[in-house]
Amino acid sequence: MSRRLSAGAPLRNPLPFRDEPPAFCALPSGTQVVAEIKTDNQGKLYLAAWSNYELQVAASCLLKPLEGDRVRATLDQKRLYITDILVRRQAGEWILNSGEHALHIIAPQLILNGGKKIVLQAESISLLSRTSRWVAERMEQMTKRWFVQADDAHRKIKYNESIEAENITHHAEEMMTVKGRMTSINGSAVVKVEGSQIHMG
């Protein structure tokens, strides 16, 4: 049999919630507070009016807290854990920080829309996909070493292609063909053609 509380009747054992109480106050575990993040002389973050408690970030709060943020925190023993960032007053980047743990996102479809720019930065980047497609008006690749391996390859250039290198070597185990309506081979010093049979014309 359920019981209804009359209007205005106090709840029994409600979840304690405080908004910037006096600077020193012993709070029971589970208390939620709302306050602004401050920075002490050593650059350590703390909650205004709750400087006597160690400030930590809850695992559920991936957004990195900054000075000036108004946050909600929950007390557990002698630590306050930031669970939500309610207001951010600082301009600039918003950083998702999972600490020392890997961040794994699973979704049937994932879309990243950077508007003007997307930057991927890591010691190693791997892309594993059955099909990969890159479409761009202009693409630049700069690397010290470039290695490509494929069973079959096809490249089609609509207008012009230019290759510059100190040395170029082409090796074909069976056949190599060079075709063009007009074909020119120039060697400023030596032009050498070798073969068991050489056909001209």
Of residues 68 and 99, which shows the higher confidence score? 68
Asked whether the whole model's pTM tops 0.95, one would answer no
Q: Which tokens is 83 given?
A: 């669970």
Q: What pLDDT was estimated at residue 172?
A: 92
The full set of domain ranges for the chain reads: 17-87
DSSP per residue over the chain, as a string? Answer: ---PPPTTPPPSSPPPEEES--SS----TT-EEEEEEEE-TTS-EEETT-TTSEEEE-TT--BPP-TT-EEEEEEETTEEEEEEEEE--S-S---B--TTS------SS-----TT------S------SS-----S------S------SS-----SS------S------SS------SS-----SS------S-----
- How high is the pLDDT of residue 169? 93
Instruction: Quick: pLDDT tens for 24-78.
Output: 457 788 899 999 999 988 888 999 888 889 999 998 888 889 899 999 999 998 8
Q: Mean per-residue pLDDT for 151-175? A: 93
